[in-house]
A = this chain, B = another copy of it.
Amino acid sequence: MPVPNRAGLNIVKLDVKDVRFPTSLGGHGSDALHTDPDYSCAYVTITTESGKQGFGLTFTSGRGTEIIVLCIRSMKRFVVGKNAADIFADFATFWRAITNDSQMRWIGPEKGVAHLAVAAILNSLWDLWARLENKPVWRLLVDMEPEELVSTIDFRWITDVITKEEAIQLLKSKKAGKEGRIKTLLENGYPAYTTQAGWLGYSDETLKKLCEKYLKLGFTHFKVKVGLNFEDDYRRCSAVRRYIGDDKVLMVDANQAWSVNEAIEWMKRLAPLKPMWIEEPTSPDDVYGHAAISKALAPYGIGVATGEMCANRVMFKQFLQSGGMQYCQIDSARIGGINEILSVYLMAEKLGVKVCPHAGGVGLCEMVQHLQYWDYACLSGTMEGRLVEYVDQQHEHFIDPCVVENARYLAPKLPGYSTQFLPGTIEKFGYPRGSEWQRMFKEGVFPPPDEAETVNA
């Protein structure tokens, strides 16, 4: 699959918007460390000379989105004036340039604000590429030859685990049966689990209703937030276990609340409820800590899941090497776009770790379905023990929202990466000028923005 013709593909504009949804009003998304999230995003639109567009975003949690937006504005210089076809033809070099600018890398490198900004920009480029090919992103990926796919990846700092040549061989070795697997995906979709029943902010009544609702919808895997108070956790997890029965699967998620030893002790006490995994037991940076927790909990049949706040492929490499991660939860908007995420999938496959993407937020479900489709068709070749997170929120803002039926993500069909907003979304939820925010400021539902939050408006 050759890259597109250069004609008309000079990128003439990169626009970025601060978009926030007032989710804190309902306690949606609340967990041990994130008590009042307003699900938000920095939303990028790139436009070529010929008027082709790409849309990409990085998820945020409300305050601070203005900083990502400014960072993306500062990174325009890497994109505007470039030809998109040239970028795609040597994508790894472009990736290196935007992540490792001699001056800007000091404020990263490859982590935090700077890398979230890179993710939004890279996501918009992949969206553009797929639209140019008139394919959903997963088909764009699936149709690439191993050499082409691997050419988008910067292997710096991971060659001790996987080299470019090994990656190509690994993909080649998985080609048999690919068409059959694509057919399976198109017919049956990809399994999802729900986090919807288990937010910390929900009452017991809500919990019960939601378990019943998602059981009826065909879900078999349920995730519950834990970590603030053991007695409360035990009561809520017991209730969920009772509602879903012993044949269904329970996972728990502490969102980094514990120290290493606390995590081990807490989970030993929750072990009778048979959770399949404990997610984010401690600091997202603590590889050694996760390895210690994994080792201690293995005899109880509890695995460790983490990744949504894992900063980059070097951190993933270590989690995968160390035995500290039994479920690799890649995030579509934190590490540097599909280019870097592919390298994580390849390392996980080589080291025999299951990838179960993090989703929810804004647009994350829309994006990760494409990645996991590619993984099944071209890399792991199996759905065994693998699921994609599903949270039924914020999908209504997108032109091409993900579709989950009978607890399976159905194949995205429209060209692109599925994160283009509907007309009107930015007019309503753009922060702070959007009409919904202006109304809420006026009615006193939210305080007015800080002066720092208005610099991009």
A: residues with CB less than 8 A from B are: 33-38, 59-68, 70-71, 73-74, 76-77, 100-116, 156-157, 159-160, 256, 259-261, 282-289, 292, 309, 311-312, 314-315, 317-318, 321-322, 450-453, 455-456
- Which one, B66, B70, B260, B318, contacts A160 given CB within 8 A? B260
CA of A260 to CA of B36 in the docked complex: distance in angstroms? 42
| Contact between B109 and A309, CB atoms less than 8 A apart | yes
Q: State which of B102, B261, B314 has its C-beta within 8 Å of the C-beta of A285.
A: B314
Contact status A107-B64, CB under 8 Å = yes
Q: CA of A106 to CA of B451 in the docked complex: distance in angstroms?
A: 21
Residues of B within 8 A of A157 (CB): 259-260, 282-283, 286, 289
A34 to B100 Cα, complex, angstroms? 9
Pairwise interchain contact B286-A74, C-beta atoms closer than 8 A:
no
CB neighbours (8 Å) of A284 from chain B are: 109
Tell me, in angstroms, the Cα distance from A111 to B256 when the chains sit together: 15
With contacts A67-B113, A70-B70, A259-B157 taken as known, whether A106 is within 8 angstroms of B34 at the C-beta atoms is yes
For A455, the chain B residues whose CB sits under 8 A away are: 70, 455-456
A285, B259: Cβ atoms closer than 8 Å? no
A20, closest chain B residue (CB): B103
Contact A452:B107 (CB < 8 A) given known A102-B35, A315-B285: no
Measured CB to CB, the nearest residue on chain B to A117 is B67
CB-CB nearest in chain B for A334: B106
Q: Contacting A113 at CB < 8 Å: which of B38, B60, B112, B322?
A: B112
Contact in complex: B111, A64 (CB < 8 Å):
no
Q: Which chain B residues border A111 with CB–CB below 8 Å?
A: 111-112, 285, 311
17 pairs, A vs B, C-beta closer than 8 Å: A33-B100, A37-B106, A60-B107, A61-B104, A63-B104, A64-B101, A66-B74, A74-B450, A109-B256, A109-B284, A111-B311, A113-B113, A157-B286, A160-B259, A160-B260, A160-B289, A287-B318
Task: Select one of B63, B107, B156 contacting A101, CB under 8 A.
Answer: B63
- Within the assembled complex, what's the spacing in Å between the Cα atoms of A77 and B450? 8
In the complex, the answer to whether B74 meets A64 with C-beta atoms within 8 Å is yes
The 7 closest A-B pairs by CB, nearest first: A112-B112, A113-B113, A73-B452, A62-B103, A61-B106, A63-B103, A64-B104
A410 to chain B, nearest CB (A): 29
**In this complex, what residue of B is CB-closest to A40?**
B103
Task: Report Cα–Cα, A288/B321, bound state, in Å.
Answer: 9
CB distance from A364 to the nearest CB of B (A): 12
Question: A166 → chain B, closest Cβ, in Å?
Answer: 14
Chain B proximity of A51: nearest CB distance (Å): 23
Residues of B within 8 A of A256 (CB): 109
B453 and A74 within 8 A (CB): yes
Kindly list chain B residues whose C-beta atoms are within 8 Å of the C-beta of A452. Answer: 70, 73-74, 76
Q: Which residues of the partner chain B approach A321 to less than 8 Å between Cβ atoms?
A: 288
Q: How far apart are the CA atoms of A268 and B74 in the complex, in Å?
A: 41
Query: For the complex, what is the distance from the CA of A456 to the CA of B452, rounded to whole Å?
Result: 9
Min C-beta distance of A345 to chain B, whole Å: 19
Decide: A283 near B314, CB < 8 A? Known: A112-B111, A113-B113. Answer: yes
Q: How far apart sit A433 and B317, CA to CA, in the bound complex (Å)?
A: 44
- The residue among A60, A63, A101, A106 with the most chain B CB atoms within 10 A of its own CB is A106
Residues of chain B contacted by A66 (CB below 8 angstroms): 70, 74
Q: Is the CB of B63 within 8 A of A259?
A: no
8 Å CB contact of A288 from B106, B285, B318: B318
CA of A70 to CA of B455, assembled, Å: 9
Chain B residues near A74 (CB-CB < 8 A): 63-64, 66-67, 450, 452-453
B residues in contact with A109, CB < 8 Å: 256, 284, 309
B104 touches A108 (CB 8 A): no
Neighbouring B residues of A116 by C-beta, 8 Å: 107
Partner of A156, one of B114, B259, B314, B317: B259
**In the bound complex, how far is the Cα of B110 from the Cα of A100, in angstroms?**
20
In the complex, which residues of chain B have a beta carbon less than 8 angstroms from the beta carbon of A450?
Answer: 73-74, 76-77
Return the chain B residue nearest A24 by Cβ. Answer: B103
In the bound assembly, the distance between CA atoms of A113 and B106 in angstroms comes to 9
With A283-B314, A285-B318 already in contact, 5 other A-B pairs whose C-beta atoms are closer than 8 Å: A60-B107, A66-B74, A106-B309, A111-B285, A157-B283
Rounded to whole angstroms, the CA-CA distance of A261 and B157 in the bound complex is: 10
